[in-house]
């Protein structure tokens, strides 16, 4: 068994298809299937359920974890020897949520490329908790996310503080509360609770996103069972829907602050719900014996070009 076998198995596990994995790796299906079968024979365990789509057995799940760790170790070895040779080449795998990627990455990547023109960047977008898992599994070199330092053996450097705000249109509130809109908004701002908005429909992001987690906490703390009109992993889509009065949504203040919408003329309320809706955004990478110089350099660029959140009101 060799590194190639690990690469083949990871691709099959992620694509859940020999056909798609073969296309991704630019090999034949026969080559791929033969390598996986040889690994199963060597291990004495069945790794795949050959259904459509493919699924992993318990042994397959365990082997996938080992394969990803081997890939991470190999990448770390390659990176260390690039540093030893003074060879500034390679590909840096960076994880970020779509919202932060849109706001932070263009400026940071442009600055990094000026310093390291021969290092390419691969951006992987996902929900916050996914990014932390992908980093810990070795699929990414560093991430920009909210990280629980107690959960993983990571180096974590804070970039900035952020808060989740509630965004809701005046038109939607008027359709629900008529001439009581000002009173309802004032009550929510004063109490930090959503009780007065129980009749309001809501829009939410994915369950593993920070805004989604804070939204569920706010619903529970307010004792309401919200009507969810739309779920999406794209915060910008939800902001556009909120503008059109489809529902109220919880969004990162950085997205609202950087939006091209003119909130003063759009009739959109931006409501802050208290300090408990705040959190830190950090850059993080795995704690290893040798950290690739490109990782530390990119982290430094992020720190120097960190996004400073403006007030949304």
Q: Looking at the structure, do residues 83 and 166 belong to the same domain, yes or no?
A: no
Q: Residue 56 falls within a domain, yes or no?
A: yes
CATH value at residue 229: 3.40.190.10
Q: What is the three-state SS of 186-207?
A: HHHHHHCCCHHHCCCEEEECCC
Please state, in angstroms and rounded to a whole number, the distance separating the CA atoms of residues 277 and 282.
Answer: 17
- Parent domain of 194: 162-278
Check pLDDT > 50 for residue 310: no
Q: Looking at the structure, do residues 75 and 167 belong to the same domain, yes or no?
A: no
Taking residues 5-18, report their average pLDDT: 93
DSSP bridge pairs for 145: 282
pTM: 0.74
CATH value at residue 75: 1.10.10.10
The pLDDT value recorded for residue 311 is: 39
Q: Looking at the structure, do residues 80 and 169 belong to the same domain, yes or no?
A: no
Q: Looking at the structure, do residues 171 and 75 belong to the same domain, yes or no?
A: no
Q: Looking at the structure, do residues 168 and 77 belong to the same domain, yes or no?
A: no
Q: Residue 141 falls within a domain, yes or no?
A: no
Q: Which of 30, 55, 87 delimits the end of a domain?
A: 87
Q: Which of 44, 65, 87 delimits the end of a domain?
A: 87
DSSP bridge pairs for 55: 49
Q: Residue 12 falls within a domain, yes or no?
A: yes
Is residue 193 within 8 Å of residue 220, measured between CB atoms?
no
The number of distinct structural domains making up the chain is: 2
Please state, in angstroms and rounded to a whole number, the distance separating the CA atoms of residues 281 and 297.
Answer: 18
284 φ, ψ (degrees, to nearest 5): -140, 150
Q: Residue 249 falls within a domain, yes or no?
A: yes
Q: Looking at the structure, do residues 166 and 254 belong to the same domain, yes or no?
A: yes
The pLDDT value recorded for residue 74 is: 87
Q: Which of 27, 59, 87 delimits the end of a domain?
A: 87
Check pLDDT > 70 for residue 266: no
- Could you read off the pLDDT of 192-236 as tens digits, one per residue? 999 999 999 999 987 778 888 899 999 999 999 999 999 998 888
- Could you read off the pLDDT of 166-196 as tens digits, one per residue? 999 999 999 999 999 999 999 999 999 999 9
Taking residues 126-130, report their average pLDDT: 89
Q: Coil, strand, or helix at residue 92?
A: strand
Taking residues 287-296, report their average pLDDT: 91
Q: Looking at the structure, do residues 72 and 168 belong to the same domain, yes or no?
A: no
- Could you read off the pLDDT of 32-65 as tens digits, one per residue? 999 999 999 999 999 999 999 999 999 999 999 9
Q: Residue 247 falls within a domain, yes or no?
A: yes
Q: Residue 284 falls within a domain, yes or no?
A: no
Q: Residue 97 falls within a domain, yes or no?
A: no
% residues pLDDT > 90 (the chain): 64
Neighbouring residues of 307: CB distance < 8 A, sequence distance ≥ 6: 100, 103, 104, 159, 160, 254, 258
The pLDDT value recorded for residue 83 is: 84
- DSSP state letter for 310: P
Q: If pLDDT is split at 50, 70 and 90, which confidence band does 313 have? A: very low
Q: Residue 304 falls within a domain, yes or no?
A: no
Neighbouring residues of 299: CB distance < 8 A, sequence distance ≥ 6: 142, 157, 283, 285
């Amino acid at each position: 068994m060799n590194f190639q076998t690990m690469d083949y198995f990871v691709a099959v596990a992620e694509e859940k298809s020999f056909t798609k994995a073969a296309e991704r790796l630019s090999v034949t299906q026969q080559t791929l299937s033969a390598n996986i079968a040889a690994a199963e024979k060597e291990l004495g365990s069945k790794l795949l359920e050959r259904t459509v789509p493919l699924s992993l057995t318990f042994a397959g799940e365990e082997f996938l974890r080992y394969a990803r760790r081997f890939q991470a170790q190999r990448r770390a070895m390659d990176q260390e020897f690039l540093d030893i040779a003074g060879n500034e080449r390679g590909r840096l795998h960076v994880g970020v949520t779509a919202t932060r990627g849109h706001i932070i990455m263009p400026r940071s990547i442009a600055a990094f490329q000026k310093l390291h023109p021969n290092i390419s960047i691969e951006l992987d977008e996902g929900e916050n908790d996914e990014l932390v898992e992908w980093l810990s599994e070795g699929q990414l070199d560093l991430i920009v996310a909210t990280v629980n330092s107690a959960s993983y053996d990571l180096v974590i450097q804070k970039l900035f503080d952020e808060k989740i705000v509630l965004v809701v249109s005046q038109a939607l509130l008027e359709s629900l509360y008529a001439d009581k809109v000002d009173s309802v908004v004032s009550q929510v701002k004063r109490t930090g609770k959503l009780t007065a908005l129980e009749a309001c429909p809501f829009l939410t992001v994915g369950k593993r996103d920070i805004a989604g987690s804070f939204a569920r906490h706010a619903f529970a703390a307010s004792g309401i069972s919200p009507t969810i009109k739309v779920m999406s992993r794209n915060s910008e889509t939800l902001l556009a829907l909120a503008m059109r009065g489809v529902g109220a949504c919880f969004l990162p203040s950085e997205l609202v602050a950087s939006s091209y919408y003119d909130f003063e003329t759009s009739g959109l309320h931006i409501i802050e719900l208290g300090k408990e809706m705040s959190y830190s955004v950090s850059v993080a990478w795995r704690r290893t014996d040798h950290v690739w110089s490109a990782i530390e350099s990119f982290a430094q660029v992020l720190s120097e070009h960190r996004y400073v959140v403006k007030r949304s009101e």
